[in-house]
C-alpha cells in the first residue's frame, strides 16, 4: 500500500522519471572542468551556452570587473 501511495504521490512531479536538468546548466560543466560531449548534452543551444561559459571563464570575465587580466 505504501509503495502504491508513493507512486501516485510522485507521479505528477515535473522532471520525474530520472531526468535531471542540472546538466543543462553551464555552472555544472564549469565546475566539472570539462565541456560536454554531444551525447551528454544533446540540445545544441544548451551546449553553445556551456561553451560560452567556458570561454568567459578562460578570459576571467565576470570574476572581477575592475581587473583587465
Is pLDDT above 60 for 58?
yes
Is pLDDT above 70 for 57?
yes
Are 40 and 23 in contact by the 8 Å Cβ rule? The answer is yes
At 3 the pLDDT is 76
Confidence of residue 17 (pLDDT cuts 50, 70, 90): low
Are 30 and 53 in contact by the 8 Å Cβ rule? The answer is yes
Pick the residue with more confidence: 43 or 67? 43
DSSP 41: S
Question: Could you tell me the pTM of the whole model?
Answer: 0.57
Mean local confidence (pLDDT), 43-54:
90
Amino acid at each position: 500500500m505504501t509503495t502504491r501511495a508513493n507512486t501516485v504521490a510522485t507521479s505528477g512531479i515535473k522532471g520525474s522519471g530520472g531526468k535531471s536538468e542540472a546538466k543543462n546548466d553551464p555552472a555544472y560543466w564549469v565546475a566539472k572542468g570539462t565541456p560536454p560531449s554531444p551525447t551528454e548534452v544533446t540540445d545544441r543551444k544548451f551546449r553553445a551556452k556551456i561553451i560560452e561559459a567556458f570561454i568567459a571563464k578562460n578570459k576571467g570575465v565576470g570574476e572581477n570587473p575592475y581587473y583587465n587580466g
